[in-house]
Amino acid sequence: MKNVRAAILDDEISNIEILKKVLLDLENVEVVWTADNLDTALTNIETERVDVVFMDIQLPPYTSFELLPKITNLNFEIVFVTAYQEYAVRALKMAAMDYILKPFKESDIIAAIEKVRNKQNKFGEITGLVKNYFSNSPENFSKIVVHVADGYDIVDINKIMYIEALDSYSKIKLSGNQTYVASRSLKDFEELLTEKGFYRVHKSYLINVRHMIKIVKGVGASIIMTDGASIPISARKKDVFFEELKGVISF
């Protein structure tokens, strides 16, 4: 059973304690940090990677909705735990994984942890490469294999839109809004995929040049992808990138 690293944000110590106890009673669940205010939570989020943060919404004088935009790397699931049911819709729009009402039942928490655990399995590891069947050369692969909950997904690399760095992890974004999280660094993917038409435009992004549809020039230069995503080009790489592009574009 996969280990789940959890964290708790609530302004009431008693709520933190009660949730902590319920979580620690579960198998393979760790409580990595707890915080009773937004600032502490933000510091913890930036230093300790977790799988899920259980957070209260009302944290006077703030709400935890104000915390989310400040997080640069939203690489964990959010489960709201609150006495206020009127926030549910907004919470779901913010892509919360679950919404639990206080006073909560132990089974609510167990269900949330299970959701986190299952999602983790699905966001599996890249376990291998599929060789191009028409060639015996391992360099000639066109697909990668991803370990998922119910087996293996075989992904055509042409369908990869871009890969984003999440600390030592990487998020692989496919066309059709499908996503995988792999426990390989972006540098690994860069080495693997540069020859396949991928380009590292930013320290956090490796893009598939096949999926570019627009290059926005200017101070904050960026690339628009076929799915509408806007990928920043780092200032340092901009000139080299444009130079190399010129070589490809012929008039």
Partner 1 sequence: MSLAIFAYYLLLAVIAFGVFFYNRTYNNLTARNKELLHEKNLIELKTKAFSSQMNPHFVYNSLSAAQYLVMINENKKAFNYLSDFSLLLRQMFENAKKTYVPLTDEITFVKRYIELERLRFNNSFTYSINQEKIDESKNYYIPTMMIQPIVENAIRHGLAPKKVDAELKIDFETKDDLLMIWIDDNGIGLKKDLQSFPKYENSALKIISERLRLINETNHRNSYIKITDKKTTGMDGVLVELALPVQNN
Judged by CB under 8 A, the residue of 11, 125, 188, 190 near partner 1 is 11
Smallest distance, Å, CB 39 to partner 1?
12
Cα(41)–Cα(10) distance, integer angstroms: 10
Which residues from 54-73 bind partner 1, rule CB under 8 A?
A: 58-63, 65-66
Is 39 near partner 1 (CB under 8 A)? Answer: no
251 CB-contact burial (10 Å; exposed 0-12 / middle 13-18 / buried 19+): exposed
How far is 141 from 156, CA to CA, in rounded Å?
9
Q: Which stretch binds partner 1 (CB under 8 A): 17-25, 107-115, 187-195, 232-240?
A: 17-25
Q: Are the beta carbons of 107 and 113 closer than 8 angstroms?
A: no
DSSP labels, 134-161: T---GGG--EEEEEETTEEEEEEGGGEE
How many residues does this entry show for the chain?
A: 251
103 binding partner 1? (CB under 8 A): yes
Kindly tell me which residue out of 42, 71, 101, 209 binds partner 1, with binding defined by CB under 8 A: 101
SS3 content of the chain, % helix, strand, coil (to 5): 35, 35, 30
> By three-state DSSP, how is residue 219 classified?
coil
CB of 145 to partner 1, least distance (A): 45
For partner 1, give the closer residue by CB, 87 or 198. Answer: 87
Please choose, out of 11-19, 148-156, 210-218, 242-250, the segment that lies near partner 1 by the rule CB under 8 A. Answer: 11-19
Question: How many binding residues for partner 1 (CB under 8 A)?
Answer: 24
The single residue among 2, 3, 13, 167 that binds partner 1, judged by CB under 8 A, is: 13
Which residue ranges make up the site for partner 1 (CB under 8 A)?
11-15, 17-18, 21, 37, 58-63, 65-66, 83-84, 86, 101-104
